[in-house]
Amino acid sequence: MNDLIDNQGQNQLVKPEVQLTIKPLNLVERQVWDSLVQARIDGCFMQSWAWANFKELEGYKTFRYGLFLEETLVGGCIFYFYPHRSQANLLIAPGAPVLPPTLAEEGMQLLKEKAASLAKEIGAIAFRIEPLWTQKPDCLAGFVRAPVDLLPSETLLIDLRPSEAEILAAMKQKGRYNLRLSWRHGAETEFTTNSQAIPLFYDLFWETVKRQQFFGEPYGFFINLCQTLFAANMAEIGLARWRGEILAAILVVYWGERATYLYGGRNFEHPEVMAPYSLHWAAMQRAKARGCTVYDFYGFTLDPNHGYAKFSRFKSQFGGVRITTIGAHDYFFYDQLADTLIGLFRNLAGDGK
């Protein structure tokens, strides 16, 4: 009897341990990937399939990889690469990685290995990630803080879950006053995905760029951006008019439960109308109606010497909660970095020809 028991125990099938794997995402998996990223509190629109399509129009190479537990997609990353002839190239992942909570270490290791393989193939010296995390986890050991961010590491979030009356009450007194003043002046707002609105938006955007003296993307950038995101139902242009004249314009991106104010501009005439107040309030109403729970002002600072300071004073009038994320972090591939430095030194010495 004991022998029989022992034999039966030996013959029992041992269930293999389920392991995390990584493989390229294909077009059939687009909806599953987007749904996964949208469902995450740290999910970012720059990890959407449509955003990757847009970046390809801008000349980037994209590499879309998923982390799978058996056949279930549980995480991953869309890598972006733009080759620069005279600069050290980076493999970047804004808004990434997307890691399974219980397998974060394993997932990050697989993504680092894949990044290293891609970097060797395309000639990148580092893998730059920029997750929307408020604390740096242990799985980012080996990553160092990057010198610059692509995404603002500090932003202002407006909670859209309360009633409109409660959201209004949470604004600063001066903000409520300016909003009501804009209503009294009769500022009108509209939102559209009509491509004919792109030049209307860009005129005000560029006017603001010149007046405020900051970097502004070219018109073609917005053609590619808007047409791609409009087709995916991910964005709208908002316009504020007064007596037929457009006084303010914004571009809002929708992703999951978050609406993000990505770009904007205004006419510097008729400041007494306070058109931007009406426009952002209408954008919040529209986002709330779409099911969004957060309106992201996308870039904020309390530092009076920061480039965001002028815009932040306006944004702060709407109340909200200031959030700081860990910012961009780099993981260096030292073999590629050494090759790049050697090539640079040779060029400086005149031996690179």
Specify the CATH number for the domain of residue 82.
3.40.630.30
Cα separation, 69 vs 75, in Å, equals 9
Give, rounded to a whole angstrom, the gap between the first and last alpha carbons of the chain: 83
**Which of the pair, 289 or 14, is modelled with greater confidence?**
289
**Residue 64 structure tokens:** 């879309």
The set of residues, in sequence order, having a beta carbon less than 8 Å from that of 300 and lying 6+ positions away, is: 152, 154, 155, 156, 308, 312, 315, 316, 322
pLDDT of residue 59: 97
Domain that holds residue 253: 154-324
Q: Is residue 6 part of a domain?
A: no
Q: Is residue 301 part of a domain?
A: yes
Pair 188, 88 in one domain:
no
Q: Is residue 170 part of a domain?
A: yes
Q: Check whether 345 has a pLDDT greater than 80.
A: no
Pair 50, 138 in one domain:
yes
- 178 and 271 in contact (C-beta within 8 Å)? no
Q: Is residue 3 part of a domain?
A: no
Q: Check whether 46 has a pLDDT greater than 80.
A: yes
pLDDT of residue 18: 72
Pair 170, 289 in one domain:
yes
Q: What is the pLDDT of residues 60-100, one digit of tens each?
A: 999 999 999 999 999 999 999 998 876 789 999 999 999 99
Q: Mean pLDDT of all residues in the chain?
A: 91
Instruction: Specify the residue for token string 């600069």.
Output: 87
Pair 159, 66 in one domain:
no
Pair 311, 203 in one domain:
yes
Residues 174, 179, 180, 181: is their CA dihedral positive or negative? Answer: positive
Pair 81, 143 in one domain:
yes
Instruction: Specify the residue for token string 């604390």.
Output: 135
Q: Is residue 8 part of a domain?
A: no
Pair 317, 338 in one domain:
no
Cα separation, 274 vs 297, in Å, equals 18
Pair 297, 218 in one domain:
yes
Q: Is residue 2 part of a domain?
A: no
To the question of pTM greater than 0.95 for the whole model, the response is no
Pair 215, 318 in one domain:
yes
CB atoms inside a 10 Å sphere around CB 109: 14
The set of residues, in sequence order, having a beta carbon less than 8 Å from that of 81 and lying 6+ positions away, is: 60, 61, 62, 63, 89, 90, 91, 92, 118, 122, 124
Question: What pairs with residue 21 in β-bridges?
Answer: 68
Q: Which of 202-206, 305-309, 310-314 has the lowest mean pLDDT?
A: 305-309
Pair 295, 162 in one domain:
yes
Q: What is the pLDDT of residues 197-241, one digit of tens each?
A: 999 999 999 999 998 878 899 999 999 999 999 999 999 999 999
Q: What whole-number percentage of the chain has pLDDT above 70? A: 89
Q: Where are the alpha helices (DSSP H) in 161-274?
A: 164-170, 173-185, 197-212, 219-231
Pair 180, 315 in one domain:
yes
Cα separation, 48 vs 297, in Å, equals 19
- 311 and 299 in contact (C-beta within 8 Å)? yes
Q: What is the pLDDT of residues 148-174, one digit of tens each?
A: 999 999 999 999 999 999 999 999 999
pLDDT of residue 310: 84
Query: 3-class SS at 25?
Result: coil
Q: Is residue 287 part of a domain?
A: yes
- 266 and 280 in contact (C-beta within 8 Å)? no
Q: What is the pLDDT of residues 321-341, one digit of tens each?
A: 999 999 999 999 966 554 554
Q: Is residue 337 part of a domain?
A: yes
Question: What pairs with residue 158 in β-bridges?
Answer: 295
Q: What is the pLDDT of residues 267-278, one digit of tens each?
A: 999 999 999 999
**In whole angstroms, how far apart are CA 278 and each of 57, 159, 318?**
34, 18, 11
